[in-house]
Structure 1
Amino acid sequence: MTTTLTGQSTRLAVGVTRVTAPNPSPMTGPGTNSYVVGTGPFAIIDPGVDDAAHLAALRAAAPGEIAAILITHAHPDHTGGVATLKAATGAPVLAHSAQLAGVRDEALVVDRTLTHGDTLALGEVTLEALHTPGHTADHLCFYARESRWLFAGDTVMADVTVVILPPDGSMTDYLNSLAQLAGMAIDTIAPGHGHLLDDPAATFAHITQHRLDREAQVRDVLDPTTPRSAAAIATVLYPDLDPRLQRMAAAQVQAHLIRLVELGEAAQAEDGWRRLTR
């Protein structure tokens, strides 16, 4: 396990350098990981925040042409530095075409859209774009074919639970994306937050089971006759939660509730959600 250190440029492997942005928080862990990938030309995955020292470290880690700025998803903690980095390098910004309705970087300008299976040649590294909706509808992971590294964005995070927030987040899509990734030959996961994960199969299995266990808990809290709000259910499931995260927890519960409706196991009314009996 390679520890993440904010502001420090860390060479992780041939053609992979990580620089962690100075934005630690309960939601971002040590901070947002930015990656410089390739052996010339280079791509920068998720520039992170608009911090001069951070962006300078990214440019210094790419001793040659920066051919692309790649975006896993349009959340500001991943994209805040895009405009400054583009102005300094002239590199085009590449991201998925889906437009987010909730939390998003409204200032983000994308030069070219990527679809599932698109590739970029970066010297000895070939990156493949994988559309992995769930955390957000526009989410992309990037897969290095030669080394079998997965740059996972916020589909997988180390020591921090991925938040699924409607309307842009979908629990069903998230589980489908995890299943897609679990079926691939991946040796190392480089997450958007936290340290490297070197047992992808166990990681995907653990996350999937955790989500299914939480889904069962939400189902059990629901009553067939008395509707309950997502916030009320979150209070039951997360009794000791940091007050700063309570609204986020309620939204996470809502994502599970929407999935239960999709499965035909719950129904939504104006005054809350109830379990359907069979």
Structure 2
Amino acid sequence: MTLYRLSPLVRRVTAPNSNLMTGPGTNSYLVGNRELALIDPGPAIPSHIDQLLTFCGDRLRWILVTHTHPDHSPAAKQISNVTGAKMIGCVMADDGHQDRTFEVEENLNHGQLLESPEFILEAIHTPGHVANQFCFLLQEEGMLFSGDHIMQGSSVVIIPPSGNMAAYIRSTRHLMNYSINTIAPGHGDLLNNPAGVLEQIVNHRLQREQRVIEALRHLGESGMDTLLKHVYSDVSTDLLPMAKLSLWAHLLKLEEDGVAQKKIAQHWAFGEERWVLLP
């Protein structure tokens, strides 16, 4: 694992947890030079924790997590125990995907500032991928640490009920109001065209939503598996289980918008959710 300097105030180390969902691995970011904030310490892999402790030395003061999924926050507790650094983030009810070792004295709030003599980090609540997702904006450099709200090279999976497509789109549009020069994602390399990236994300989600509407119009009342084949025909087979979760999120948004309606087909052995376009 190598420590890369990205800017005068930011360095990055990537955890050795690369796979289909994490890409090259989870990015951990060190902000500051004299006093350090560690953003997303990542999974509790001993070699990764040892490297972070070596890089931080005795300068670590804060451990921030963008959200408490198992590839982003589990190392926080162990690093905090060794260094005494304060853990900062937002804890939510366990939806089956949460790191339950992460603890805070008080949940993070939107707009909250973490200030040091060198830098200011602003917390921006960006629910959508999951309800407790926050981005952090380094005001001195306009660098946005996006966690899993934005990733390089792939779409973020939205997993209901804690994930919400309508909230995801609203959060992405809200980020357009900030002065962002660079996006430092939870997975992948820096993104240097933030305005274009944010616009592309919103457009992609709305285009996919339109495909859901068109599929319902063409097929009539349909189950998820049938819709999946039509809406995500451009997605490789190994990604279809994750695409099905995002499809569910799209359908829930359309239901909230009054465009589609969920039905239960009672004649199936266990009942099946089926969806229909409203007139």
Higher relative contact order (CA 8 A, sep 6+): 1
Deviations 1:148-182 (A, max 9, x none): 11000011100121111101111110011111101
* 2:113 pairs with 1:111: no
Partner of 1:141: 135
Counterpart contact for 1:120–1:128, Cα < 8 Å:
yes
1:86 CA displacement:
1.6
Aligned match of 1:15: 9
Following superposition of structure 1 onto structure 2, how do residues 15-34 of structure 1 map, counting pairs within 5 Å?
15-34=9-28
SS in 2 for 1:186: coil
Q: What is the deviation of 1:240?
A: 6.1
- What's 2:269 paired with? none
**Given that residues 94 and 100 in structure 2 are in contact (C-alpha distance below 8 angstroms), is that contact kept between their aligned partners in structure 1?**
no
Does residue 181 (structure 1) correspond to residue 175 (structure 2)? The answer is yes
The separation in 2 between residues aligned to 1:29 and 1:203, in whole angstroms, is 18
Q: Does 1:273 align with 2:275?
A: yes
Distance 1:231 1:131, change over 3 A: same
Correspondence for 1:221: 215
Q: Report the alpha carbon displacement of residue 223 of structure 1 after superposing the two structures with TM.
A: 4.0
Write the distance in 2 (CA, Å) between the matches of 1:76 and 1:66.
22
Aligned-residue RMSD, C-alpha = 1.7
CA deviation string 1:14-70 (max 9, x = no partner):
121101011111111111101111233211111111122222222233354211111
**Distance across 1 between alignment mates of 2:124 and 2:112:** 8
Tell whether the 8 Å contact from 1:73 to 1:138 is kept in structure 2 after alignment.
yes
TM-score, length basis structure 1: 0.92
Is it true that 1:127 corresponds to 2:129 in the alignment? no
Is residue 66 of structure 1 aligned with residue 72 of structure 2?
no
SS at match of 1:254: helix
Matched, 1:98 2:92: yes
1:274 is matched by which residue type in structure 2? V
Distance in 2 (alpha carbons) for counterparts of 1:224 and 1:177: 31
- CA shift, 1:241, in A, is 4.1
Give the TM-score normalised by the residue count of structure 2: 0.92
* Separation of aligned partners in 1, 2:84 and 2:221: 54
* CA displacement at 1:183 relative to structure 2: 1.5
1:85 matched to 2:79: yes
- What is the total number of aligned residue pairs between the two structures? 271
Distance 2:219 2:200 in 1: 33
Runs (4+) off by over 6 Å:
none
* Residue equivalent to 2:146: 152
1: CA distance, partners of 2:232 / 2:12: 33
Does residue 257 of structure 2 align to residue 263 of structure 1?
yes
Contact kept, 8 Å, 2:181 with 2:194, in 1: the verdict is yes
Q: Matched residue of 2:199: which SS?
A: helix
Identity %: 39
3-state SS, counterpart of residue 35 of structure 1? strand
Task: Mark the runs of 5 or more structure 1 residues left unpaired by the alignment.
Answer: 1-6
Secondary structure of 2:88's counterpart equals strand
Match of 1:4 in 2: none
Alignment correspondent of 1:201: 195
In structure 2, do the counterparts of structure 1 residues 221 and 256 end up closer, same or farther at CA, with 3 Å as the change threshold?
Answer: same
Counting only pairs closer than 5 Å after superposition, residues 33-48 of structure 1 correspond to structure 2 as 33-48=27-42
